[in-house]
Chain A
Amino acid sequence: MSTDVRTQPTGVAGAGASRASAARGWLDARSRFLPVVATFVLFVAMFAAGSLRHENFGSPQVFANLFIDNAYLVVLAVGVTFVILTGGIDLSVASVLALSAMVAAASLEAGWSAPLVVVAVLVLGAVFGTLQGLVIHFFQIQPFIVTLAGLFLARGLCYVISVDAIAIADPTFRAVASAYFVLPGTSVGVTPNVLVAVAVVLVAVVLLHLTRFGRTVYAVGGGESSATLMGLPVARAKVGAYAISGLCAAISGLLFSFYSLSGYSLTALGGELDAIAAVVIGGTLLSGGVGFVLGSLLGVLVLGTIQTLISFEGTLSSWWTKIFVGALLLLFVVLQRVLVRRRS
């Protein structure tokens, strides 16, 4: 159109500057993985230390048991990861877990068929999460308060169903609970719970990294007002994250009922904090926008390893688990702060 001289590209300096910043960007894109790598290294180191100290610690079955014992926590942490990525928090997950297990046990006792119970529990969890999300987004209330209310509500409902534990006698549930697969080519056995947890992790990875919904979740966590101004469907992403968290809590509740073959009001008391701790140790920033589902999985494994280590020691009180988790949590939060500060 115009051959105005002013349109000639200018400035070798400018080009050089952007090349330098591109190089810095390369380094930096990798530093996003640093917390996850750190968690992975920590996990390997702890497992190696345990193997050196105790003869049987390093066996593949001990490793598999980490998954078997913590499958429900993995699923719980995956759900919470979505919420934390949007910059929110979900304190209700462990209560929803307990409620799901209670509803499952009670409705099975009332004679519902197992598939119907599973579907009903999943719908219940998803609806519970969705409602919390709607309140948080449309009334603009802090997620902390809304999900704290959810925590009390769900936990209280457990007691309405029954004060005592309800045993599960349903043959399908019992069959799942006692099922055991030996992984081909090994002598390692896992339960269906492990397969469910792994499936949930895989679905979550695809959802977060390969769909527009997932990218919007990250964008909301990076800056909600920015995301709005960019014309992104912020409401859908935010409410969706809480719905997924509720759904995951319900799945987690089912896994727990397979694991324990009962429903009890006090199940997973304080479990939401374990889930949040796992997510944070897995490298997800509480301020949102940064983190990976695989990190949360590693976080759960680290927590599980600490527990196993302490039980192998035999002489240590189980409270040492809490002390280690506390120390680790602090370490990781400080590490993240240092990384973020260096970046900016």
Chain B
Amino acid sequence: MTTPERAAPQRPPTPAAPDRGPDQRAPVLAAQGLSIEFPGVKALQEVDFRLLPGEVHALMGENGAGKSTLIKCLTGVYRPTAGAVLLDGRPVSFSRPAAAQEAGVSTVYQEVNLCPNLTVAENILLGREPRRLGMVDGRAMRARAAEVLEGMGVRADPGSALGSHPIAVQQLVAIARAIVVDARVLILDEPTSSLDADEVEELFRVVRAQRDAGTAILFVSHFLEQVFAVSDRMTVLRNGQLVGEHRTSGTTRLQLVGEMLGRELSASDAAPAARGDDASDREPVLRARGLGRRGGVEPFDLDVHPGEVVGLAGLLGSGRTELVRLLFGADRPDSGTLEVGGRRLRARGPRAAVAAGVAFSSEDRRAEGVVGDLSVRDNMVLALQASRGWARPLPQRAKDELVEEWIRRLDLRPASPDTLVRNLSGGNQQKVLLARWLITRPRVLILDEPTRGIDIGAKTQIADLVLELAAGGTAVVLISAELEEVLRLAHRVVVMKDRRKIAELPGDCSFDDVMGLIARSDDDHAHHELAPAGAERRTA
């Protein structure tokens, strides 16, 4: 399968770094035609990937692009449906993470996977402690750990409990553990997501030193600036497919953002879907003023009018989800006010929001949305029942009629109200979740990634439904990682970046308008700001 803009591995026009010509080297770790399918989702489709020795290679992509899945295939957590993983050119099949580790492929996960109750030295050497007469030699262990940490330039007492150190140090200890096994491949999955700017620099210093020692490093991050600061080459994934493989020095931010967000010239792009009239002259049903939360999203103003679809655009981690969680009261704001239908929402929390007619379909439908062990019928009437109170049960007949109606309108398959929700495909689960809120006839419907991980048919149906609802007077706030989708459906586009609302554009704005806004301000700050401004605020 080939996407139109899929780029061949690029060779720079002039050799920029003659002493480091990674393209000539044989890859340490590679994937050929890697595919993996989960029920209802093609998580990876024929992905080729090459990781060279002595390079920092960034793996880029939006939510659901397949970054984590690729890493899990490389390290033996998942078994690919097709294709091969090559280590030193030979096909390998790691049965479990420990086997990958023994072969020299070490992974440091986003959440530090160490034991906070043990000492730093133990965490570095656990499982390969130096022994004397069959007994663990504590002194030798601390000495060895101290040696490794010193080699990395990290100052931490090897005898201290790991849990007493800040996350940044724990992250470095995790890397030390990987280094101790003489890892030839070091995979860093979002290592910087909870570090501040200084800590990121410290981490990068260690990463660069490892690279210069010949280790191949795979670096996953959604912070563009960090990727440009530390990586030599990059691979971009979107929707489980390879979009491009580039040298960092020959790539612009604009190009990268474009590839990550994707622009598919589809029929609906050429002919924008019929949108309702301009709704902005009506009284807004949702009005946020200075609403914000420290560590979440900076104070913003937002009006949403009846019959209007407001789309949120921005990269992963830009604060899209954080913003809508404030609107719904799922997170407690520490500044600003929120009005629904002209009445100020004083009571905080989702219950107040639901009572005021706001519905929120969460991004993580498995964890926060549907109840897998209940039937389609029970799932659909949950919210309605909750809003009526338990003392007034819904008559069985009314329940059945409603459920039948929505199964029909959403084209749910199988069209049986008694199926357990966990047996449905992702797209159909999403429809059940939507139906649950739609049954309550909300005035404002917040959809966070309603189309993620579902097939194209279900996507179209959900898109049509969004427009139909808006035409019927519902205000819709829509988040999607696919910018095309936002542009197609929204009457107004709110652009987010680094946990800030940076612009509001009319619905007929172009892909390049939005992309330009996101990428341009990045370039503006690039020279004096290595880590994105968001990093520091986020950890505050």
| Chain A residues close to B by CB (< 8 Å) | 1-2, 4, 6-7, 9-11, 13-15, 17-19, 21-22, 24-29, 32, 206, 209-212, 214-216, 218-219, 221-223, 225-233, 289-290, 343-344
In the complex, are the beta carbons of B126 and A14 less than 8 A apart? no
- Asked if B119 lies at the interface with its beta carbon under 8 angstroms from chain A, I say yes
Q: CA–CA, A210 to B131, complex, Å? A: 9
Separation of A233 and B127 alpha carbons in the complex (Å): 8
Q: From B98, B101, B155, give the contact of A18 (CB < 8 A).
A: B155
- A25 and B165 contacting across the interface, CB-CB below 8 Å: yes
B351 interface residue, CB < 8 Å from A?
no
Interface centre among A26, A211, A223 (most CB of B within 10 A): A223
B136 interfacial contact with A, CB 8 Å? yes
Assuming the A-B contacts A215-B122, A215-B129, A222-B116, are A24 and B164 also in contact, with contact meaning beta carbons closer than 8 angstroms in the complex?
Answer: yes
With known contacts A2-B20, A32-B161, A7–B156 Cβ distance under 8 A: no
Q: Which of B119-140 contact A (CB under 8 A)?
A: 119-120, 122, 126-127, 129, 131, 134-136, 138
If the complex has contacts A17-B198, A21-B165, A228-B97, are A29 and B117 also in contact, measured as CB distance less than 8 A?
Answer: no
Q: Which residues of A contact B97 (CB under 8 A)?
A: 228-229, 231
Bound-state CA distance A128–B131 (Å) is 31
Q: Using A10-B202, A17-B198 as known contacts, say yes or no to A219 and B115 having CB atoms under 8 A apart.
A: yes
Q: Which B residue's beta carbon lies closest to that of A228? A: B97
Q: How far is the CA of A6 from the CA of B210 in the complex (A)?
A: 12
User: Which chain B positions have C-beta within 8 A of A24?
Assistant: 160, 164-165
- Tell which of B113, B136, B198 touches A215, judged by Cβ atoms closer than 8 Å: B136
Tell whether B213 is near chain A: CB-to-CB under 8 Å. yes
Shortest Cβ gap from B124 to chain A (Å): 10
A339 to chain B, nearest CB (A): 12
Q: Is the CB of A2 within 8 A of B212?
A: yes
Q: Does B153 contact A (CB under 8 A)?
A: yes
Are A290 and B117 CB-contacts (below 8 A) given A25-B156, A25-B161, A344-B163? yes
> Within 8 Å CB of A223, what residues of B?
113-116
A21 to B165, CA, bound (A): 6
Complex-state Cα separation, A305 to B208, whole angstroms: 60
Residue B5 at the A interface, CB < 8 A? no
**Chain B residues whose CB sits within 8 angstroms of the CB of A19 once the complex forms:** 155
Give the distance in Å from the alpha carbon of A27 to the alpha carbon of B107 in the complex: 31
Pull 13 A–B residue pairs with CB atoms less than 8 Å apart, ordered by A: A4-B208, A10-B205, A11-B201, A14-B201, A17-B198, A22-B160, A211-B136, A215-B118, A215-B122, A222-B117, A229-B109, A289-B115, A344-B163
Do A230 and B127 touch across chains, with their CB atoms under 8 A apart?
yes
Verify B155–A15 contact, CB threshold 8 A. Answer: yes
Q: A215 CA to B130 CA in the complex, in Å?
A: 12
- B160 & A9 in contact (Cβ 8 Å cutoff): no
Query: Are A11 and B198 interface neighbours, CB within 8 A?
Result: yes
B478 proximal to A (CB < 8 A): no
Cβ of B357 < 8 Å from any Cβ of A?
no
4 further A-B contacts with Cβ under 8 Å, apart from A15-B155, A228-B97, A232-B126, are: A6-B208, A14-B199, A25-B165, A29-B160
Residue among A2, A11, A32 making CB contact with B19, cutoff 8 Å = A2
Given contacts A15-B155, A18-B154, A18-B155, contact A25 B118 (CB under 8 A): no
Chain B residue numbers with a CB within 8 Å of A226 are 113-115
Tell me the complex Cα distance, A1–B211, Å: 10
Min C-beta distance of A200 to chain B, whole Å: 18
Alpha-carbon gap, A9 to B207, bound state (A): 11
CA distance A210 to B128 in the complex (A): 13
Q: Is the CB of A14 within 8 A of B118?
A: no
Tell me the bound Cα distance from A114 to B20 in angstroms. 76
* B516 at interface by CB-CB < 8 Å: no
Q: Which residues of A contact B177 (CB under 8 A)?
A: 230
Interface 1/0 per residue, B133-162 and A, CB below 8 Å: 011101000000000000001111101110
B136–A219 touching, CB < 8 Å: no
Let me know if B136 and A29 touch, CB within 8 A: no
B127 and A232 within 8 A (CB): yes
The docked-state distance in angstroms from the alpha carbon of A168 to that of B377 is 66
| Chain A: minimal CB distance from B536 (Å) | 13
Closest B residue to A231 using CB positions? B98
Contacting residues, chain B, for A29 (C-beta < 8 A): 119, 157, 159-161, 164
Residues of A within 8 A of B135 (CB): 206, 210-211
A254-B163 Cα distance, complex, nearest whole Å: 41
**CB-defined interface of B165-184 with A at 8 Å, one 1/0 digit per residue?**
11001000000010000000
Please determine whether B208 and A212 come into contact, CB atoms closer than 8 angstroms.
no
Say if the beta carbon of B364 comes within 8 Å of chain A: no
A219 touches B159 (CB 8 A): no
Which residue in chain B gives the minimum CB-CB distance to A221? B117
Shortest B156–chain A CB gap in Å is: 5
| List of A residues within 8 angstroms of B212 by Cβ | 1-2, 4, 7
Of A11, A214, A231, A232, the contact of B202 (CB 8 Å cutoff): A11
Give 4 nearest A-B pairs by CB, closest first.
A25-B160, A222-B115, A231-B98, A28-B164
Q: Are A218 and B118 in contact (CB under 8 A)?
A: yes
The residue in chain B whose Cβ has the minimal distance to the Cβ of A85 is: B117
B523 within 8 A of A: no
For the complex, what is the distance from the CA of A15 to the CA of B134, rounded to whole Å? 37
> What are the residues of chain B within 8 A of A7 when measuring CB–CB?
205, 208-209, 212
**Residue among A218, A229, A290 with max Cβ neighbours from chain B (10 Å):** A229
Q: Are A10 and B201 in contact (CB under 8 A)?
A: yes
Q: What's the Cα separation between A223 and B111 when bound, in Å?
A: 12
How far, in Å, is A96 (CB) from chain B's closest CB? 28
- The chain B residue sitting closest to A1, CB to CB, is B212
A17 → B minimal CB distance (Å)? 7
List B180-204 residues whose CB lies under 8 Å from chain A.
198-199, 201-202
B214 contacts A by Cβ under 8 Å: yes
Q: In chain B, what residue has the closest Cβ to A227? A: B115
Most chain A CB neighbours (cut-off 10 Å) among B97, B116, B209: B116
Given contacts A2-B212, A221-B117, contact A13 B159 (CB under 8 A): no
Contact B113 A22 (CB under 8 A): no
**Is there an interface contact between B114 and A25, defined as CB atoms closer than 8 Å?**
no
